[in-house]
Amino acid sequence: MDELLIRGATLYDGSGAEPCRADLAVRGGRIRAIGTDLAADARRVIDADGLALMPGIVDSHTHFDAQLTWDPFVRPSPALGVTTAVIGNCGFTIAPCRPADRELTMRNLTQVEGMSLEVLQRGIRWEFETFAEYLAFLRRRGSAVNLAAYVGHSSLRTWVMGEDANRREATRAEIAEMVALVDEAMRAGAVGLASSTSPAHNGAGGAPMPSRLAGDAEHLALIEAMGAGGRRGVYMVTKGAQMPVALLEEMSARSGRPVMIAALLHNGTNPGAVFADLDAISAANERGRRLLGQVSCCPLTMEYTLASPYPVEGLASWQAALGKQGAALEAVLADPLFRQNVRDELARPSAFRLFNGEWDKVHVVQVAQERHRALEQKSIAELARRTGKDPLDLMLDLALDEDLQTIFTAQLLNSDEEAVARLLTHPHSVVSLSDAGAHLTFFNDAGFGLHLMGHWVRERGVMSLAEAVRRLTHQSAALFGLPGRGLLRESWAADLLLFDPARVGRSTARRVFDLPGGAPRLHTDAIGLHGVWVNGMQVADANGLIENAALAGELVTHFEHRA
């Protein structure tokens, strides 16, 4: 007997083909049959008339590495249609990690990924040191979604170099040690190697994340180790200006493996930069090198306070404030020279920073003092015009007057929808960059797939629903070589998403308090979602995550070559 029969659904199979109306039966965690008028010999039968059925979403850019140790339900992703998550992006992993480096690793994550140090200290279960031990821990722990894990460059450097990891380049001997660690991780089942050279990625005390100190020789040695012996590995990097696409093409050529490049977002003050990168990626593909650009279908909008202002922490001029708290931080923010340095830097165009001085896109969300209530929901640009003040001075003065408790929001990148539509439809782009598991108090884009299908397909019509489903499922599953996933096919994994195409989307964000110690995070609800199954087990329905759902996800450590 089948466990599940979904009858009369409009099937979008993940290949990009036109949909068809059919039944789908599940047995033993696999799709047993797809056809018309299948016998209703199942423990549960769902009449899906008017609903669409697709493979579950593959989220290729998440940061759940720490959260998975305390939350095997991987909130909020299953309730937003995600059935497979790739963790370890940008190289910000928690393994390998020696006990002596745990505090540094957590403090790095606090800075670079906007995570709460108290949450990490309360929540992480350190039952591992090596990468192989971390994978074994995840397998024992179980998860609500399937997982594939990168080995992280910054963690490799910290394991080999200790506190020097974010201070200098590695020696030949140290690179050789890292190469051995990459080999070990790939043998254990890593999906690839992840790194970052982005100037926005700073760790504890404002120091660069370790991978940013690596020279070209180190990057090349590690990617060659990743791809050695014909392995199915993917190199993922969030690149800075010092890492041109030409170097990444050389990495692909020398390793024989795909290179996934993040984060390709449209910058309104330097609008041609992202398309220049995509042109270079296209040219590399024409020469037989597989390069792909990770793009987002969401505007990058963040909530923040000046006590932890992630949007501006990538500015070189802001380094004087990093790592400071209380009175010491307030003294820096009040310093006229500091402010002038920030203004001068913002006046210079850049394609590699989050904030670019677009003050009309920065708003006061919530004030701490009643006498400032009239400022809420107004832009900094508008308030500056009213008062005749410089916008930076206005924001900093307001924050200082409220002991840095004022909540601001900034729409940073990807706000030009015509430009974003070009990114989403580019032949060598991958719709991704949810950052799920990180920046929990700043934004929540874990529902990116629902947003793609609702906003960009139904409302904007920039692509067909069949193509959107392909980009959310089979494209990434095939790239990573996830066996038996990403398509609706008989005998393949029953990773399924049942939804209403006329309603699908995501809600506005709200705060919930379910992190260790009751700490807050931003949460969005699914709209038009009727069910999510991972390996045939239902994990979410129209009301969200199913309490006490089975931890049916698989840790994928074997990857297959396929078209």
**Domains defined for the chain, CATH in brackets:** 57-299+414-497 (3.20.20.140), 302-411 (no CATH)
Residue 202: per-residue pLDDT: 85
Q: Using one digit for the tens of pLDDT, what is the confidence trace for 215-241? A: 999 999 999 999 998 888 999 999 988
Q: Using one digit for the tens of pLDDT, what is the confidence trace for 316-337? A: 999 999 889 999 999 999 999 9
Residue 561: which pLDDT band, with cuts at 50, 70 and 90? low
Give the global pTM. Answer: 0.91
Q: What is the mean pLDDT of residues 449-465?
A: 98
Tokens of 21: 């109306």
Angstrom distance (rounded) from CA 55 to CA 297: 19
3-state DSSP assignment of residue 51 = coil
Q: What is the mean pLDDT of residues 295-323?
A: 90
Q: Using one digit for the tens of pLDDT, what is the confidence trace for 397-412? A: 999 999 999 999 998 8
Residue 302: per-residue pLDDT: 85
Tokens of 454: 């609702």
Least confident piece of the model among 39-43, 101-105, 121-125, 132-136? 39-43
Contact 433, 295 (CB under 8 A): yes
From residue 34, alpha-carbon distances to 50, 63, 244, 310, 335 in Å are: 18, 35, 46, 48, 67
Q: Using one digit for the tens of pLDDT, what is the confidence trace for 501-510? A: 999 999 998 8
Q: Using one digit for the tens of pLDDT, what is the confidence trace for 141-168? A: 999 999 999 999 999 999 999 999 999 9
Relative to beta strand 429-431, strand 291-295 is parallel
Of 505, 418, 419, 495, residue with least CA distance to 457: 505
Residue 562 has pLDDT above 70, yes or no: no
